[in-house]
Structure 1
Amino acid sequence: MSRGHLATGSITLHRIPEREPHGRWIDARSGLTWPDTLLPPESEVWGLRILNVAGLIVAQCVPAGQRHHLISAALMVALILFTEFWIRIDIGPMWRRCAVFGVNTALLAAAIAVTPMAGIASWAGYMLYASLFTGAPMLLCVGVSCVLMTATQRNGWHHIADPWWVSILCWVLNVVVGVAAVAVIDARESTLLRRRELTDELIAERSRNAELQEELVGQAMRTGVRDERARLARELHDTVAQGFVAVVTQLESIDEDHLSPSVRERVENAKSLAREGLGEARRAVNALAPVPLESRPLATALQEALTAFSRRNPIAATLRVDGDPRSLPGDESLLRIAQESLANVAKHAGATQVVTTLTYLDDTLLLDIRDNGRGFIPDAVRRGADNGFGLTTMAQRAGLIGGELAIESEPGAGCVISVSVPR
């Protein structure tokens, strides 16, 4: 029987258009596959063909005149050819299915009138009409098909009324058997289809649960990393940074007036190294401290960072946002890259203006930090004494979120730091 999307109700009691064929009958076989079905779905097509050929052969094996055999054979061949025709056309419209029923019935009735045994092909009606119709139309067609079966069982139309009650009894028995078979098969297939739908729903739910679990694990990992970074920042601040502060304080309390020039030089070197170490410690603390993005979008955090940057440095800093802003997993890393870029501008660029642009495209997020400073040669900085550690860190941060960092600069032409992150 044809099955598309499972609809509720029994096809023996209600007409359910969703469970009737739409398109070619040969393609609209059951959505179930073997072994859920007793036979493979394509067996219905071959079952119909075999019954038609069996009717043709058996009709020629019973005693009859040559003329009767020729007429019967012609009718059965016509039925076979008509069957091969209609199973390959669109029988979605009701009138076409009714035409199939009418032509099949007429050809079989004529063949039975000539050689009654040709009517064994009418047994295909149980399968055929239960796949073409549902509800009352299906019951009507099965009932008419049982009339053909009864005529075959009574050895032709001329014996149908001798006696009439036997024919009625045969017809009733045929209808009961046919409807019962259709109901049992329909109930079984409906149960299997419903089970398959439930299985698909469970698989989909399992997939959603797996995605949710993965998201929760990722969130837990991010939370753990953030907490560990915060702990390290506190430890660095309370130990290393405070230790450098104490060292600088002690060195600055030394009365250098009574020191020899060589000792004074060593003290000054110690002060310089201590201040440099303190600066690096504070820089590490700032890099490890959590980024306050939990309740703010990236654009807002960037604007606040630029405002604070302008207060600390005599450099005008502006932000431009293009597109539709949206939160992305890599926002924290982008803010860190922007902060590192601003720190480099303040320390090395000698710029008077910084323009930060945040561009939201359909599939990409772009972050550009442009300054009008003195510029530099990127490759030369990477090969320098500090190996361009800040640039390397920014590139690594971009790589961790699946992005790419590009640096465009040359002496006297400022610098542009560009980061592109796929959505």
Structure 2
Amino acid sequence: MRIIQDNTFKILQPRYYSKFQCDPIKCYETCCERWKIIIDKSTYQKYIQSENATIKEIVKTGLSINETSVNDDDFAIIHLNNEMGCPFLNQNNLCEIFIHMGESSLSKTCKSYPRAVILVNDVIERGLEMSCSIAAELILLNESGIEFELVMDAVKLNDIYIVSPTIEDSRQIEIIKEIRTTVINLLQTRTVELSGRVAIVGSFLNQIVGSIDFSNIHHEEALSKIKEAKSLINLREFKTTKNDHQLQDIRQFDYLNTILSMKFKEGDSISFFSKRYIECLMQVLDAFGRIKNKELEKHYKRNFEKYLKPYLDKKSYILENFLVNYVFIYGVELFKSNDIWTSYLKICVIYGLIKFNLVGLATYHKGMNDDLALKLIQSLSKTIITDKSYLESVIKYLEREKLVELTKVTTLITD
């Protein structure tokens, strides 16, 4: 990452961003537990050099050098206590760093979250992570959809984590941003059912992967190919052929159930699962656990139609906002030229898992409401999206099962 002095930047952000304010009273899940917490070198040195008796006692066992550090931003690790909480939290769930050393001594991690900040060609892009319950509500319940704005603002670069894409060619970044903009526009095309929009995104990206040679990229030619791919999108076709997947999605429950089960074998320890997600998961398992295997697929589809679909028909914007926010926050890295299709597979997996869990919750509660939907999406975001090794294992599973082609992977998302 380039080192730039604090300055005023042109910033692209969703309009919701300026409305966010941390509120511990309204927060349903503290951000100070069940994370792998890294801290920067400067913060580490402040803590180990502190003369405060409370801080000195905590750092004896609460901090260590990160043996896999790649730069000063992830120089050290905070070790969680037996309750999987930050050791700097006291019995009243208040931060001892804040109390004894002041807000300015908080680590970059603590100052940043849930803000996601990216520096792209001297323009900052920023949004909010949906693993924060307050942010999730702000993002997901916006019925008119996520809108974006350009603002000018001063940013203290040394106070927060800034992600810079690992892409050196500025022309390539422009191409990736054009792809991301197209994907977001497609996801917000409400004349098509949401699952159909995700399939349309796949059709668009499939054409991009097949038509642009990213190893020998020509800027104008690439932009022309993107424009051509957009022109080939047929929204009417996706309206009328949605049911063409009915024969091939007979194993939708089986695939998604297997993918979710892999989380326990291939992903982070269950001790890092969001507590709220564990609550949701227990109810999902209860909803499906009493059904005979041969009846599960029919049971799943029947209960989707009965308990979840009526809610989604009225409030599909909730899942739309999730997908748009996900693509915006992770888009520049998400659609790296050599990995565009894998990025799309991850979108389908995460979207499929959300719907799978929502069906289970709706079955358990005999219906769905905003509180349940927000709880599931926030807690699943905290548990799934950050677990890179798990998602990589899922991609390998899709490859083994020959589910990576467009007509196959949409098995995970069709209604």
TM-score by length of 1: 0.17
Q: Which has the higher contact order (CA 8 A, sep 6+)?
A: 2
Bigger CA radius of gyration: 1
Higher helix fraction (1 or 2): 1
